[in-house]
Amino acid sequence: MNIQTREQSYHYGVMRRAIELIDDGGEDLTLAELAAAMDMSPAHFQRLFSAWVGVSPKRYQQYLRLGHAKTLLQDHFTTLEAAHAVGLSGSGRLHDLFLRWEAMSPGEYARKGAGLRILWGWFDSPFGLVLVMGTEKGICGMGFAAETGAEPTMADMRSRWPDADFVEDPMALRAMVEAIFDQRGEAALHMIGAPLQIKVWEALLRIPSGQVTTYSEIAHAIGAPRAVRAVGTAVGRNPVSWLIPCHRALRKSGALGGYHWGLPVKRAMLAYEAARDEGQQDGAA
């Protein structure tokens, strides 16, 4: 992973501490007070956050507030029908990343990975340490360890395909991982799940960056409007977090809902996307 991504991984740790401060009543801390709490000079703190998301720390505070999810639903809600009309080749794709995927057949899924060779490796990311797994067809798993820890993350991912042959080989995955986090190039996905899960994950792929939807909207989009609970479970079982953007699914009430790798990571992802989108819009203006 390049130096820029390693720096972003470090920035997530700083941002995680900022989340704790804001949640403890620090929403109105000044730049100087935030910087002091992080043991940084105001100028360094300002540069760090501006480099990471493209906006000032004060603006970033607004994105990290617990109530920001409600604002997202009001101002950045998308129906999946509209997103589908745009298509993955438009604003639905992850920045400049081109995605193509192949889904495993139900019979293959039922074999729990038997006969499947899955490569894995640890990488730095903008959201801390990430475990990436892939087959010869593409990336099949991404788990973030910043909140859960490395060993539980590995055990969690391996348990999804317990009979597969797991081989450590980060070099074989590096090009696709760099395409994901450097926001250029191509990454193939190998979606390994039950038929309902794959429908939900495909729906998640249609949510544009910087926008959100609800679990009930996803249920309607896949033709199962009463299956909101099952949809929520499928969202939680998404094996390729960030790339299949389950962090963009919220409850109708505006609550964040759960997140398999920890709510601080989900909030960080939403804040990161919202801030970067704002920065790109300001740059284009």
Residues marked active site are found at: 246
Contact 262, 274 (CB under 8 A): no
For residues 196 and 204, what is the distance between their CA atoms, to the nearest angstrom?
Answer: 13
- Taking the alpha carbons of 30, 210, 15, 177 in that order, is the dihedral positive or negative? negative
CB within 8 Å of 6: residues ≥ 6 apart: 124
H or E segment and range at residue 123: strand 117-123
In eight-state DSSP terms, residue 104 is P
- Taking the alpha carbons of 160, 161, 166, 170 in that order, is the dihedral positive or negative? negative
**Which tokens belong to 186?**
């191509």
